[in-house]
A and B are shown apart, each in its own frame.
Chain A
Amino acid sequence: MPAIKSLEELKRIREEALQKKQMKATPGNVQVIVAMGTCGIAAGARDTMKSVLNYIENEKISGVTVTQTGCIGRCEEEPIVQVMLGEQPKVVYGKVNVQAVEKIMKQHVQGGQPVKENIIQI
């Protein structure tokens, strides 16, 4: 891919994103954290991460921070995803496959209602 063309495209994308940001009120701090220790990766955390990103792309949701953490000592529950919505306490989900991601993103990240059946206690 020619570097200059992609850089121009990037500038356009940046301006679009900026405009959108000004129009929309910030929905508060939303964080999705995928566990990426050796255990998580072996259990499919990369696919889980990919599904989170795909969801954001397809549904065009702005203002979600996606990040990662290491092993949290519950390897048998991997892939583990944690969701933090504003000031609310962190919710930890276990065995988050592609279907579970859809549900968590729709119901919790967008709708504000934790997905009870996937929550694990740590």
Chain B
Amino acid sequence: MREIALHLLDIAENSIAAESQNVSVHVHEDLFHDRLTACVIDDGRGMDAETALHVQDPFYTTRTTRNVGLGIPLLKSAAEMAEGSFSLQSEPGQGAWVEADFRHSHIDRMPLGDLSSTFLTLLISHPQIDWTFLYRVTDKNKQSRDFIFESAELKSELGDISLTEPEVLTFVRRIFEEGIQEVALQTVAE
């Protein structure tokens, strides 16, 4: 995996497999504290403490096609390589909270990557989920800018029109691309 955004796509797929209704993906680039934090929070079926430990082991998976599951271990090692940490909090029936944290300026920190494509892919692939996407950038003066997207409003407005109608696609893609760029530009200006 070459981007944090790709990891988020992968981790969020776990939330879908856990039969979640609401899934939040949060990314915070905090230049004041020199951290980059990414988390996926869901209300799916969750897991017990033993399973939560197991999923961090590459030789564990719930899938039946083979005996390895690499998603979470890959993210964990990416975070640990960049003076960061990984945590997974969950209880059966209580959803899950997966968080990876990196030192923002660390030479080995993976680039954040194409967040708008990750958000678009998640929204299109799983229109039944109520998504919340939050991208926050805090500059060195502690000023924050947010991009927030909640899919419930979009869905109720669209009614029975599919997200994959070309006009709708253009509209949604622009929301993500322009919204994220607006927030991210502040990083470049640093």
**B168 located at the interface, meaning its Cβ lies under 8 Å from any Cβ of chain A in the complex:** yes
Closest 6 CB pairs of A and B: A73-B65, A68-B125, A38-B71, A60-B166, A13-B167, A17-B165
Contact (Cβ within 8 A) B161 A18 = yes
Stretch at the interface among B77-85, B115-123, B131-139: B115-123
**A10 located at the interface, meaning its Cβ lies under 8 Å from any Cβ of chain B in the complex:** yes
Residues of chain A touching chain B, judged by Cβ–Cβ distance below 8 Å, are 1, 6-7, 9-11, 13-14, 16-18, 21, 34, 36-38, 41-42, 46-47, 49-50, 53, 56-57, 59-68, 70-73
Residues of chain B touching chain A, judged by Cβ–Cβ distance below 8 Å, are 1, 6, 9-10, 13, 17, 63, 65-66, 69-71, 74, 114, 117-118, 120-121, 124-126, 153-154, 157-159, 161-162, 164-171, 173, 175, 178-179, 182
Contact (Cβ within 8 A) B168 A17 = yes
Contact (Cβ within 8 A) B6 A46 = yes
- The tally of CB-CB contacts under 8 A between chains A and B is 100
Give 5 pairs: A residue, B residue, CB < 8 Å, sorted on A.
A10-B171, A11-B157, A38-B74, A67-B124, A70-B13
